[in-house]
Structure 1
Amino acid sequence: MTQVTVRLYKQGNKMWRDFKAELIKRYESSVMVDISKSEAFSKIEKQEFNNLIVVKKKSIVEKRSVAGVDDSDILKTSVNNGLTKISKKRKEARAKYARGIAEAASQCDTLIDIAKRVGKSTSFVKRVASEFEIKLPRRNNGHEEVVSR
């Protein structure tokens, strides 16, 4: 999984410092690591521990990998957070225009007239109208609107 550095591990009267291990599982305040490839432990010690030990999260150097975000997920997480922020901003912007579109829809006969009055494209007007359930006129520029296939 993810390789981490353990600052300190104490078992009985023995102590191991600054060794590398593979992160296996996360718990609430500790993590299970695989020590089979670690050079800090002897073969006998590895057999005693069954190649697995549980250490405190505070003793792990790489805090990000222990917090629940793998290195492979870092980019995905930041991109998702950015997209969430953008979508919230866009939703707020559409909400601002919803009132104007509803008012223009009651006064105008065509979709193009509504778009001109609001100052946005017809596709934006349609999207906002469908999101906020605003009834639009069926005529588009004097002609009946073609029903989408």
Structure 2
Amino acid sequence: MTQVTVRLYKQGDKVWRDFKAELLKRYENSAMLDISKSKAFSKMEKQEFNNRIVVSKKAIVEKRAVSGVDNRDMPSVALISSIKAVNKRGEANRKKYAVQVAKAASKSKTLTEVAKRVGKSRSFILAVAEDFQIKLPRHNNGHEEIASR
């Protein structure tokens, strides 16, 4: 897993400072570490501790590793930027069709008719109308639309 550096660990009268260990498990205020590869502990100490110790999160230098936000948990920068780009394209697309939706809404009696005139789906027409406060026809194929829309 993740290798972390521990500033201070006390057990009885012994003190260990600035050693590296593998993070096994995170708890609310502490973390379980694997010390089997750590050079700070002797073979007897490793055996005595069963190759594992529990350390306070305050004693660990790498706060991100123990706070539950590993690099594996974070989405990549490329993914985040692509999501933002898709959102911007969607906004631009809705802006582009706002005028057409407004014109079609004034000439049509139903929401489906507006969608056919613009050439887009009903859900897209509803999204555009909501973004730009366009008044849509209240009837949809003979059935009255919900007044909140």
- What TM-score do you get using the length of structure 2 for normalisation? 0.62
> Aligned-pair RMSD on alpha carbons?
4.1
Structure 1 contact 4–21 (Cα < 8 Å) conserved: yes
- 1:128 alignment counterpart: 124
Task: Provide the identity percentage.
Answer: 51
Following TM superposition, by how much is the alpha carbon of 1:56 offset from its aligned partner in structure 2, in angstroms? Answer: 0.8
Change (3 A) 1:126 1:27: same
Rounded Cα–Cα distance in structure 2 between residues aligned with 1:81 and 1:53? 40
8 A Cα contact 2:32 2:54, kept in partner: yes
Alpha-carbon separation, structure 2, partners of 1:85 and 1:30: 39
Deviation of 1:29 after TM superposition, in Å, equals: 0.7
Aligned length: 128
Sort the Cα spacing of 1:56 and 1:100 in 2 relative to 1 into closer, same or farther, 3 A. Answer: farther
How far the C-alpha of 1:83 sits from its partner, in A, is: 2.8
Cross-structure match for 1:57: 57
CA 128–16 in structure 1, closer or farther in 2 if over 3 Å, else same? same
CA distance 1:52–1:113, shift in 2 (3 Å) = closer
Separation in 2 of the partners of 1:22 and 1:68? 15
Contact map agreement 1:30 1:57 (CA 8 A) in 2: yes
- Matching residue's letter, 2:106: Q
| Runs of 5+ unmatched residues, structure 2 | 131-135, 141-149
Deviations 1:67-99 (A, max 9, x none): 1122333443884597379649957x859x779
Please report how far the alpha carbon of residue 63 of structure 1 lies from its aligned counterpart in structure 2 after TM superposition.
1.0
Task: Name the CA shift for 1:81/1:45 in 2 (closer, same or farther; >3 Å).
Answer: farther
Alpha carbons of structure 1 residues 85 and 22: separation in structure 2 relative to 1, 3 Å: farther
Show structure 1 runs of 5+ residues with no match: 116-121, 138-149
